[in-house]
Amino acid sequence: DIVMTQSPDSLAVSLGERATINCKSSQSVLYTSNNKNYLAWYQQKPGQPPKLLIYWASTRESGVPDRFSGSGSGTDFTLTISSLQAEDVAVYYCQQYYNTPITFGQGTRLEIK
């Protein structure tokens, strides 16, 4: 199984500041034949299902604010929130869909400082 490891486990950032969450996979999730990274990011608020933010490592889902961006390739990925808003308080998960079983990171809890 591909193990997804996120860092940090929790993060407190001031409103308007940048938040950065890292995700590392135990093996590459880059499919060289199409040069796509099979990596997504989700946001989960309390009592709600996860919401897709980013897929193919850097493609923003329709309707997601442009302060959210994804980057990275191979085994190392980053989710960046450029200017934290109060509504961004949530747990964030990375997910690989390169291989079965699909696996998620353990989650990063983002709070306001």
Partner 1 sequence: QVQLVQSGAEVKKPGASVKVSCKASGYTFTSYGISWVRQAPGQGLEWMGWISGNNGNTNYAQKLQGRVTMTTVTSTSTAYMELRSLRSDDTAVFYCARAPRTTIRGPLDYWGQGTRVTVSS
Which residues sit at the interface with partner 1, rule CB under 8 A?
38, 40, 42, 49-52, 55-56, 61, 93, 95, 97-98, 100-107
CB of 65 to partner 1, least distance (A): 17
Return the amino acid letter for 82.
Answer: S
Cα–Cα distance between 102 and 7 in angstroms, integer? 19
Nearer to partner 1, 19 or 107 (CB): 107
CB of 15 to partner 1, least distance (A): 27
Nearer to partner 1, 75 or 108 (CB): 108
Nearer to partner 1, 10 or 14 (CB): 10
Cα–Cα distance between 36 and 30 in angstroms, integer? 6
Nearer to partner 1, 16 or 49 (CB): 49
- Residue among 78, 75, 92 nearest 28 (CA): 75
> How many CA atoms, within 13 angstroms, populate the side-chain half-sphere of residue 75?
7
CB of 12 to partner 1, least distance (A): 19
Backbone angles phi, psi at 86, to 5 degrees: -60, -35
